Structure 1
Amino acid sequence: MQSFNHLITTRPHQVRQVLISDLHLSPQEPALVQAFLALLDDCLALPALKRLFILGDWFEVWLGDDTYLSLLKEKRSEDEQIAHWLTPLIAKLKQLRINGCEILVMHGNRDFLLGQPFCNLFGGELISEPYTLPVGQQNYRLEHGDALCTDDKKYQFFRKIMRNRLTQWYLLNKSLEKRLAIADNMRQRSQQNNANKAAHIMDVNDKAVRQAIATSDALLHGHTHRPDIHQATDDKKRYVLGDWRLLDKDTRQPKVSAVIGAVTDDQRSNDSFSSNDLSSNDAKFGLFEFEFLIR
């Protein structure tokens, strides 16, 4: 697998779109937050970057936009806002948007309560799955990936309930403390259930994949934490993004590693490409390994 770090130093003008998934950010995992900030610095340095996709599970848990927006509405001290772990992320994302890069965010199974009001803070846009992304002469189907795990009947039933607008309205009208208690209970039950499930049950179902890819040329998703390139059918591929994980945490040089996607335009030079053209026939998609050393 190619190195993303090498890509941005050798071909920065050719990177047009970046796609990531399953960051599982939280204040309890500062290394992952640092790595995401580092990726955003890389994105800010890419002169031709026009889109950043976050395909679900951006956060380990999201209890509602008010968990952060309340800092602004209640006009708490500026120091408290600055100290919040989300504030640096929002600042860099906002600068990225000002630079002309769209930021497109998709729900995952852990952050399905994420709303447009939070995305408005940095000029982002919530997108629904599936989302069609033109790459060259092909159409890629983008989704988080949990809907493809149809062998897990219990989870699919749970997913259907949680994605219902009435259920979400009910949850968001609970106090933050009650939402936190509900989330903790759900997390414990999920861990217990997953411990007793066969590994293949929590992976995608082949039939579901073939149905999903039927009207597209390729499929791209995350969720399974099993990054790879699969031959979905005789002539179509399934690309799986990787989760962000801390490696070698007990060594002197721990690092965060992730498998991300990028759309590049290999045939255009910096002088000839059109900044508004995202559907060039020369565009190509690839998976890249992103690594960040923790300091």
Structure 2
Amino acid sequence: MLINDTAVTDYSHMITTRPNDIRRVVISDLHLSADEPALVQAFLALINDLIALPHLKELYILGDWFDAWVGDDNYLTLSNIEMRRHWLTPVIHQLSQLTLSGCQIKVMHGNRDFLIGQDFCDLFKGTLIPGPYLLTLGDQIIRMEHGDALCTDDKSYQRFRIIIRNPITQYLLLKRPLQKRLDLAQKIRTKSALDKSSKSMSIMDVNQAAVIKALKPVDCLLHGHTHRPAKHQVVIDAKNHVTKSRYVLGDWRLISPDTSYEQVEAVIAVTTAEINSLDQNQSAERESLQLVKFVVKT
């Protein structure tokens, strides 16, 4: 697993030695819930760090931020007392502080939280963005997406995805009583766990033809979903020796190295800026993308 790859930069080292250079941070597959307080605390720790970065422009969350999301009303309809006690409230507060610091927060749907709405994002002045989403860094175009649409070998899931991502289906879902949606989400999670145990690992990974199709009009692909963090060089044109990079983000995992403490580990992406001098009077900033190991003790 990439998190043990010594060639991958350590997040703590980067924010300590290059805090002025970090421009964007990209994460996915946190699967936050009330049942995983360590993951929530790790996310809050990350946001605290990001608030202190003087030139951070954007935080991207590329789907599966939450383990399940049945509609914004599950939080927005809480009473004031319930909100104060809710595990999400500190998250919203910290994200609001991050936007106040000048960082834009952009949220993309995943396969578990496709019912997140702009109303929820408005609580911290975030923006719900479509997937795929194109990010331009200088002369480079990066395609960012959750990644589930690339797993085209999983035919049954792709059929389900077409149905569940249909705006009419989502409208009808959100019209159902909240408790029924919660029950349905639990059934879907249970079925998903059973499906994973019966499907081969290759079927649940990306399809190479789908990756090449996604990469052809852009310079780079960045996604999550598969929980297989790595950087791949994809051959786009073998005849002309054309390759392009595919970066895969990792899921957030609670690890127990020993009995004395626990830690959360993930692989995230960071863009850093370098100043290139054009002449004595001019300089240009060039951003580069890299995968970074994020580890925090809980």
Shorter-chain TM-score above 0.5: yes
Deviation at 1:135, TM superposition (A): 2.2
Q: Distance between the aligned counterparts of 2:209 and 2:186, measured in 1?
A: 33
Q: Distance between the aligned counterparts of 1:80 and 1:64, measured in 2?
A: 17
Q: Residue 253 of structure 1 corresponds to which residue in structure 2?
A: 261
TM-score by length of 2: 0.91
Deviation at 1:192, TM superposition (A): 1.6
Q: Distance between the aligned counterparts of 1:108 and 1:58, measured in 2?
A: 8
In structure 2, what residue type is equivalent to 1:264?
Answer: T
Q: Between Structure 1 and Structure 2, which shows a larger proportion of strand residues?
A: 2
In structure 1, what residue type is equivalent to 2:252?
Answer: W
Deviations 1:60-100 (A, max 9, x none): 000100000002xxxx24x4322110000101111111111
Q: Residue 147 of structure 1 corresponds to which residue in structure 2?
A: 149
Fraction of identical pairs, as percent:
55
Q: 1:54 aligns with which of 49, 53, 61?
A: 61
Number of aligned residue pairs: give it: 279
Q: Which runs of 5+ in 2 are unaligned?
A: 1-7, 236-241, 278-283
Q: Residue 296 of structure 2 corresponds to which residue in structure 1?
A: 292
Is contact 1:26-1:33 (8 Å) kept? Answer: yes
Q: 1:23 aligns with which of 30, 34, 39?
A: 30
Q: Spell out the pairing of 1:111-122 with structure 2 (5 A cutoff).
A: 111-122=113-124
- Residue 116 of structure 2: SS of its match in structure 1? coil
Deviations 1:253-284 (A, max 9, x none): 21000000011002279xxxxxxxxxx65111
Deviation at 1:250, TM superposition (A): 5.9
Q: Residue 5 of structure 2 corresponds to which residue in structure 1?
A: none
Q: Spell out the pairing of 1:123-202 with structure 2 (5 A cutoff).
A: 123-202=125-204
Q: 2:91 aligns with which of 82, 89, 97?
A: 89
Q: Residue 266 of structure 1 corresponds to which residue in structure 2?
A: 274
Q: Distance between the aligned counterparts of 1:28 and 1:242, measured in 2?
A: 20
Q: Residue 233 of structure 2 corresponds to which residue in structure 1?
A: 231
Query: 2:245 aligned with 1:243, yes or no?
Result: no
Q: Residue 3 of structure 1 corresponds to which residue in structure 2?
A: 10
RMSD: 1.4
Deviation at 1:136, TM superposition (A): 3.2
Bigger shift: residues 246-255 or 83-92:
246-255
Q: Distance between the aligned counterparts of 1:129 and 1:173, measured in 2?
A: 24
Q: 1:209 aligns with which of 198, 208, 211?
A: 211
In structure 1, what residue type is equivalent to 2:29?
Answer: D
Structure 1 consecutive aligned stretches of length 4 or more whose deviation exceeds 6 Å = none
- Residue 23 of structure 1: SS of its match in structure 2? coil
